[in-house]
Amino acid sequence: MAKHIVCLGFPAFGHLLPLLQLAKNLAKHHKITLVTSAHAVEDLRQRGLIEPSTSDSSSTSLKYFGIEDGVREGFDITHQSEETGKNFALIMIGVGNFIRTLNLRTDGPTDTASPIPPVDFLITDISIGPCLTTIVTRKIPFYLLNCGRAYHTALMVLLVDENSPTVPYDKAPAFLEMPGEDGKLHGPQPDGQFQGFFIPAKRALPFSRGVIVNSIREFEGETIARISEQPGMREIPVLCTYPQLQDQTAERKEDDTEVAQKLKSWLGKKEAGSVVYIAFGTLASLKPDQLKELAAAVERLERPVIWSLKSAQYVHLSDQLQEIARKGLDDPNSRVLIVPWAPQRMVLAHSSVGVFVSHCGWSSTMEGLSVGVPFVAWPQRSDQLMNATFVVAKGAGVLVRGANEAREVVSANELVRIVDGVFAEGAGYAGQARVLRDIIASSSQTNGSAELDYARLTQSFLN
């Protein structure tokens, strides 16, 4: 029987995109309402990621509901500021109110003023922290969605407790401390996150019907085993359904743009596996000093380069690179292309690309690994280190040191040396990247791990 499921999202793109894709897939068999901040629903619409609202929306099984929480901008955080703190509070108030008025189908007729029809259960981003408490108190059945690695939220959350030492947020060396060799957290944790996020999430986890992870079981096996050993977690399934959280459409709108066409024709003229693609995602940005060193490395590299760099940062480039950036894609013979935006999936999948210099956000990491490109893994915030160390531990790339320490500037010479090292014949990074690519591909085959986990998920809806 079709269920009515609310997919409750955290309004940052890295979080909403996997949830949106999951919602689209589930909507083939169930009625789904995707709920998040009103401005984020509008953003998704403007980017063409959700259908424009039609007068006859009753015919579709996927609906959207925007919470009017007063937040006006995306929550794609580069750093914690006063504004992001305020926005986070507003989002939590909005989500909290939404949950309090929600009607459950099992409740029968009620008089609460829910803006949407009665629901069977929720699939909620784990990042709604304190609101999870409200869900548990109201005894609303729920699944948790973890948009990063299993390591990222599920395990980290379980490792802290009320007695974990904390420090004020601005004194904390890291957004999350990496666990030590013994699997325990030793450093103090930033107090804001701790009270507002970790503890409520930890308390909610054992009440969930399952944890959905944006990864594949082959990459998370050990972590999942450790999660299951935590109190109350033995019976909670941890399901890794990465392919179902990704837009699999072969032809995307973004690949059709003029930028994409020009990039494709430029790439088409390069040797297989020769191009360096540099992109730090929408969130991460380099300090000016570091950017200058990277720019010098780009000039020194004797390889073709595509550098996706926000135009606001062009001022830090040399005159020569600024000239290149100004020409954009109009010089088909240029060794270097600097563009404010690139259709990343298309670029990475091109056979001419040989190395991906990345901050290793988890979605970029999986995008690169899915097409078998080796990495220069250069995390910019300490929590990204976990994604980066994963890539390095698997032998699919080299880590640029520095994210977790007092960050020193990495020199142009060292960067050139690292990039050349990943290309080096016999280094084995490219081969290992292809091994990981094949593992990801097989996870979505019939009886592949991700297919089986997804089947387990949808089966569990019936219980």
SS3 call for 180: coil
Listed in sequence order, the residues at least 6 apart from 410 whose beta carbon sits closer than 8 Å to its beta carbon are: 290, 293, 400, 401, 402
Site for ligand NAG in 93-132 (CB under 6 A): none
Give how many residues touch ligand NAG by CB under 6 A: 13
Q: In this chain, which stretch among 39-47, 98-106, 319-327, 382-390 interacts with ligand NAG, using CB under 6 A? A: 382-390
SS3 call for 70: coil
Instruction: Please choose, from the candidates 62, 85, 65, the residue with its C-alpha nearest in 3D space to the C-alpha of residue 75.
Output: 85
| Residue 2 in tokens | 């079709």
Smallest gap from Cβ 238 to ligand NAG, in A, equals 15
Spell out, one character per residue from 349 to 378, where the chain touches ligand NAG: x when CB under 6 A holds, - when not.
Answer: ------------xxx---------------
Q: Which of 208, 244, 387, 444 binds ligand NAG (CB under 6 A)?
A: 387
Q: Which is nearer to ligand NAG, 354 or 361 (CB)?
A: 361
CA 241/CA 26 separation, integer angstroms:
12
Q: Which is nearer to ligand NAG, 14 or 372 (CB)?
A: 14
Listed in sequence order, the residues at least 6 apart from 164 whose beta carbon sits closer than 8 Å to its beta carbon are: 185, 188, 189, 194
For residues 322 and 299, the answer to whether their CB atoms sit within 8 Å is: no
Using rule CB under 6 A, residue 397 touches ligand NAG: no
The residue behind tokens 């403007």 is: 46
Residues linked to residue 184 through DSSP beta bridges, in sequence order = none
Q: Which of 152, 209, 217, 303 binds ligand NAG (CB under 6 A)?
A: 152
What is the maximum alpha-carbon separation in the chain?
70
What is the number of residues in the chain? 463
Instruction: Please choose, from the candidates 429, 400, 432, the residue with its C-alpha nearest in 3D space to the C-alpha of residue 415.
Output: 400
Q: Which is nearer to ligand NAG, 223 or 384 (CB)?
A: 384
Q: In this chain, which stretch among 39-47, 146-154, 217-225, 421-429 interacts with ligand NAG, using CB under 6 A? A: 146-154
Site for ligand NAG in 262-321 (CB under 6 A): none
CA 428/CA 372 separation, integer angstroms:
12
Instruction: Please choose, from the candidates 63, 84, 62, the residue with its C-alpha nearest in 3D space to the C-alpha of residue 75.
Output: 84
Q: Which is nearer to ligand NAG, 132 or 388 (CB)?
A: 388
Q: Which of 383, 400, 416, 418 binds ligand NAG (CB under 6 A)?
A: 383
CA 327/CA 321 separation, integer angstroms:
10
Q: In this chain, which stretch among 129-137, 148-156, 236-244, 406-414 interacts with ligand NAG, using CB under 6 A? A: 148-156
Q: Which is nearer to ligand NAG, 245 or 329 (CB)?
A: 245
Q: Which is nearer to ligand NAG, 244 or 363 (CB)?
A: 363
Which residue type is seen at 83?
E
Using rule CB under 6 A, residue 446 touches ligand NAG: yes
Smallest gap from Cβ 325 to ligand NAG, in A, equals 26
Using rule CB under 6 A, residue 246 touches ligand NAG: no
CA 56 to chain centre: 33
CA 413/CA 430 separation, integer angstroms:
22
Quick count: other Cβ atoms within 10 Å of Cβ 326?
10
SS3 call for 129: coil
Smallest gap from Cβ 178 to ligand NAG, in A, equals 8
Smallest gap from Cβ 75 to ligand NAG, in A, equals 12
Q: Which is nearer to ligand NAG, 37 or 384 (CB)?
A: 384
Smallest gap from Cβ 359 to ligand NAG, in A, equals 8
> φ, ψ for residue 90 (rounded to 5)?
-65, -40
Q: Which of 386, 418, 419, 433 binds ligand NAG (CB under 6 A)?
A: 386
Q: Which is nearer to ligand NAG, 198 or 266 (CB)?
A: 198
Instruction: Please choose, from the candidates 146, 241, 245, 223, the residue with its C-alpha nearest in 3D space to the C-alpha of residue 443.
Output: 241
CA distances from 272 to 70, 104, 136, 232 (A): 49, 56, 53, 51
* DSSP tag of 225: H
Smallest gap from Cβ 18 to ligand NAG, in A, equals 10
Q: Which is nearer to ligand NAG, 156 or 263 (CB)?
A: 156
Q: Which of 127, 285, 384, 449 binds ligand NAG (CB under 6 A)?
A: 384
Spell out, one character per residue from 2 to 31, where the chain touches ligand NAG: x when CB under 6 A holds, - when not.
Answer: ------------x-----------------
Q: Which of 54, 112, 447, 463 binds ligand NAG (CB under 6 A)?
A: 447
Q: Which is nearer to ligand NAG, 62 or 386 (CB)?
A: 386
What torsion do the CA atoms of 321, 322, 323, 328 make, to the nearest 10 degrees? 90
Q: Which is nearer to ligand NAG, 149 or 316 (CB)?
A: 149
The residue behind tokens 């401390």 is: 177
Using rule CB under 6 A, residue 148 touches ligand NAG: yes
Smallest gap from Cβ 176 to ligand NAG, in A, equals 7
Contacts to ligand NAG by CB under 6 A: 14, 148-149, 152, 361-363, 383-384, 386-387, 446-447
